[in-house]
Structure 1
């Protein structure tokens, strides 16, 4: 419809600055594991800037305290809680604390993960077991802790961070890939079982984070770091999660794969 000449349409409102916290009627309580750095930290900052109330969990309490304080200084709402995802009791305490403080739990971002890559014949069995504990059991513990709460609420959203290594297997990544294939399988099973709870699996490609620091084999570590020249910032993954949880209740974004344009 054309505007009447003597009644011009008002100019559109000025866009909000990307990092400016906003208050919206759709503000959610979002719990984020592994929030002390990388994707977890970037996601906390992005969601807080969108007006959500974020609760940061990690073992490194000093770091998450600093991140939470930075978010609050910027006008956002953020709490932090010590968390070891390999412990079900720790995860339950994390969820209970957030629920007690905010009255509900709307979103869990199961982000905590490790990536100590190595060839199979290196027989780094302790590292294999640690990946299983953090990358698989940690996700299961998160689901176990929030699912009863979300069922009681009649709504909720679980976001599980997988990897493009859950879509393919490369040398040195056999066990890591196995854990991320598992995350995708768990997510899809949970999605099919759920009606009130939405489930999203996010699979990042090469992304700037501390994951490479956990690679104990010097040759593998340097090879992986050499490929990071095309890596995208962790903020790109935070943006994708913000998009997924911002959809209306009847829309479930099931899976997002986010790679650098230059990644093969």
Structure 2
């Protein structure tokens, strides 16, 4: 398998999709670098991975800080000597109608969901371009391919990630840098995303939706592993994933 011995960096790795992906890739033989803000959670996950025979380290960082993204790449190279894949997964979803004017939450989503991806790219692309190989994977959302009331800014950030990744794929092909891309559009996945919603009506609606249709983050981890495990000359660019019973 092409996953074995690959060095994979995962942001937003302290819970949910990031945690599940780190554990699965480690089982499959990858060397995993977990990155997030919550050190205790990261330490616990790395401990679990190592106890299961996997190879993992963690690095505390904030994706909204460009310098900390550069330090994450440096940390990875210091520990493993290279980097093959970066999974830009950190995100928040404090949905609300635009009329609620939760401007601070709008800015938080832009900073984490969009600028966090841009910062990760700015940090890793020099390495990928220099070695003429690499794989960038991002977590977008079904909200990144369809418009729904109640979460315009969240959706705007996820649409932006969709376009950003598509252009990265095209430019890499034109420039001959062999950088693979994969954008994942999850529907309702049972993670901590709902914990960020402060608008009462939005929280009630999303909670009911997730209770009915939510599936495990391990399902997304399987998709990440599948994308990485393809031959180097194969790029599967997009995955839309959700419950069989959810009409997203």
- Shared fold (TM-score, shorter chain, > 0.5): yes
Is 1:221–2:217 an aligned residue pair? no
Q: Distance in 2 between matches of 1:211 and 1:217?
A: 13
Q: CA RMSD in A?
A: 1.2
Separation in 1, partners of 2:147, 2:45: 34
Aligned counterpart, 1:171: 149
The answer to whether the 8 Å contact 1:208/1:233 transfers is yes
Q: What's the CA shift for 1:26?
A: 3.9
Partner of 1:235: 218
Report 1:57-72 matches (<5 A): 57-72=35-50
Give 1:173 deviation, angstroms. Answer: 1.2
- Within 1, Cα distance between the matches of 2:107 and 2:132? 35
Alignment coverage as a number of residue pairs: 242
Q: Deviation of residue 118 (structure 1)?
A: 0.2
| TM-score, with structure 1 as normaliser | 0.90
Consecutive unaligned residues of structure 2, counting only runs of 5 or more, are: none
Superposed CA deviations along residues 131-179 of structure 1, whole A, max 9, x for unmatched, are: 0000000000011111111112221000011000001111111111100
Q: Partners in 2 of 1:158 and 1:245 — Cα distance?
A: 10
Following TM superposition, by how much is the alpha carbon of 1:232 offset from its aligned partner in structure 2, in angstroms?
1.1
Cα distance in structure 1, aligned partners of 2:76 and 2:43: 15
Task: Decide whether the 8 Å contact of 2:4 with 2:28 is kept in 1.
Answer: no
Within a 5 Å distance, the mapping from 1:130-149 to structure 2 comes to 130-149=108-127
Partner of 2:190: 208
Match of 1:7 in 2: none
SS in 2 for 1:152: helix
Deviates more, 1:129-138 or 1:215-224: 215-224
Secondary structure (helix, strand or coil) at the match of 2:246 reads coil
The structure showing larger relative contact order (alpha-carbon pairs under 8 Å, at least 6 residues apart) is 2
CA contact (8 A) 1:24 1:51 kept: no
Partner of 1:10: none
Residues 248 and 139 of structure 1: CA distance in aligned 2, closer, same or farther (over 3 Å): same
Q: CA deviation at 1:259?
A: 1.1
